[in-house]
Structure formats: C-alpha cells, structure tokens
Structure 1
Amino acid sequence: MSSGNKYEVDPYNAGYDQPPVHSQRQPPGYSYPMSRSAANIVVNSASTPRVVAAQRESDWLVPAVFACLFCCWPVGVCAINAAVNARSRYDEGDYENGRDYSRSAKQLTLISLVLGVLCLTAVIIFQVFRVKELMNERTGTTTTGNPFGI
C-alpha cells in the first residue's frame, strides 16, 4: 500500500494486493467447489416489473359505418363517434377507456342493426297490406271489420 497503513484501502488497487488463493494451504481432503477454468455465474434474483401489453380490441369503425349507411342512421352516427373515440384512445395507449368506447360502439352498432331490420320489416308489412288494399279496390271487394284481411 502506498501509505504504509495496512488498514487503508488504496482506491486504485483495492483488493489486488492480496496473496493468490491457491498459495494458501487447505486442509487435507478439501477441494475447491469449482475448478479455476470454470466460469462464475451471476444470477440476478431481484424481481423486475413486468409490463403486460394490453390487447387492442376491435374498434367497430367499419361495422358502425355500414350500420349508419344501411340501417338506422341516427344511432349509426353515434356508433361511428364511439368507434372513432375508441380508436383514438387505443392510439394514445389508454386501453381501458378504449375498451369502454369499443363496447359502446359495438352496442350502438348492434342497436342500429336491430332498428334497421325492424324498420325494414315494418315497411315490408305495410307495403304488403297496401298492395292488398289496392288489389281489393280494383276488384271492388272490401274487407270490413278486420284491418288485416284475415
């Protein structure tokens, strides 16, 4: 050591002025657990935080557009709005709110679909009865009492 004090640690040569391990005498029958050529394995046992990638669900934008065009357009517009909000939340990394908007878009799309099918069915039934009434007027027969002609 540079100062002569055996308890002072030289920061530039810390630990290197010790005698080699193999020169020390070991008791008979004692052997080193590892040979000198073996590599030392260091295992980091500290737990690292795990990042779980949230799965991006469908934002229902395309079905919402089709529901707006072909079914009930007022509810379809709301479905498109919810789908666009879901997509923007997913892009921002806010998966929880994105999932909520995606569920809203799905519900509104399905409501638009059901309302569109019900309206189409009502129009078809109305047209069938209207055509039947026109046919009865041409032939001169009338159905009285029963509006459905049964």
Structure 2
Amino acid sequence: MGFFLPFTYIAYNAGYNQGTTTYQSVPKDFQQCPGAKMYGSTPAVTTTYSPTNWLCPAIFSCLCCCWPLGLVAIYYALQANHREEMNDLYGAEQSASCARSCTYASIFCGVIMFGVSLAVFFTVQQKNHHLP
C-alpha cells in the first residue's frame, strides 16, 4: 500500500547544456592563518584569549595588606579561574575585574593603615621621649 503517482517525472533541460558545477567555499588564492584549523573546507579560527589571573596578587594583598579585602579578592580570582575552565569567558572577565578591584583596594587600605600605624608609633615615641 503505497502512494502511486499517475504521471512520470521528466527533467526539463530548457534546451541548453547545464554541465557539472563544482563549488569552492574559499578563493583559489586563499592562505590559511597560522592559528586556523580546517573543518571540512571551511577554516575555523581558534582563539586562545584568557582573562588575567589575579590569584597571586590577591594572595599577596591578603597576607601583606588588608586581609578581609584580600580574602574577597582570592574568592573572585578563584571564581575567575573556574569560569575560565568552564569556557565562560564573559563571567571570567567579570570575576577577574572584581578580583583586581578588591586587590587594589586591599593594597590601598594596607598602605593607609601602615602609614597611620607609623604616624601613631612615632607620635607615641616622641611623647614618651619628652616625659621627665
């Protein structure tokens, strides 16, 4: 039980020779880029972009500067590394940006606290020096 067509199909040529055609997706003088891979006949360029890793500066800022902001910077740096491994480059760039901001803030706060500590230390030393 099938469907039967009561007519036969005849290809219409329109009176000219169509010949055979070959299709080429790239020009004949095409030169492949060094970082490109070929999949079939179409070149596919692979990129190796990755966001800056802020883990080492974040650890430094945690140990030597303001540790609460340093811990936040370490968290965001690890999150950026994880997102990069998951191939989420936009999320990795956002997390790396937060890690950079927290690292800079930690270093800035650490420098300010060090300066204030020195000022207090020398002020106390000077007052103790002048006591009879």
Greater strand content: 2
Structure having the higher Rg: 1
Gaps of 5+ in 1: 1-7, 9-40, 139-150
Q: Could you tell me how far 1:63 is from its partner in structure 2? A: 0.4
Name the count of aligned residue pairs.
Answer: 99
Task: Name the SS of the counterpart of 2:131 in structure 1.
Answer: helix
Give the structure 1 partner of residue 32 of structure 2: none
Give the structure 1 partner of residue 105 of structure 2: 111
Superposed CA deviations along residues 64-108 of structure 1, whole A, max 9, x for unmatched, are 001000000000000000000000000110000000000000000
Q: Could you tell me how far 1:61 is from its partner in structure 2? A: 0.2
Q: What does 1:66-85 correspond to in 2, within 5 Å?
A: 66-85=60-79
TM-score by length of 2: 0.67
Give the structure 2 partner of residue 87 of structure 1: 81
Q: What does 1:29-68 correspond to in 2, within 5 Å?
A: 43-45=24-26, 48=42, 50=44, 53=47, 55-68=49-62
Percentage of identical aligned residues: 27
Give the structure 2 partner of residue 130 of structure 1: 124
Give the structure 1 partner of residue 36 of structure 2: none
Equivalent residue letter for 1:133: K
Equivalent residue letter for 1:124: L
Equivalent residue letter for 2:25: N
The reply on whether 1:96 has 2:90 as its aligned counterpart is yes
TM-score by length of 1: 0.60
Q: Could you tell me how far 1:52 is from its partner in structure 2? A: 5.3
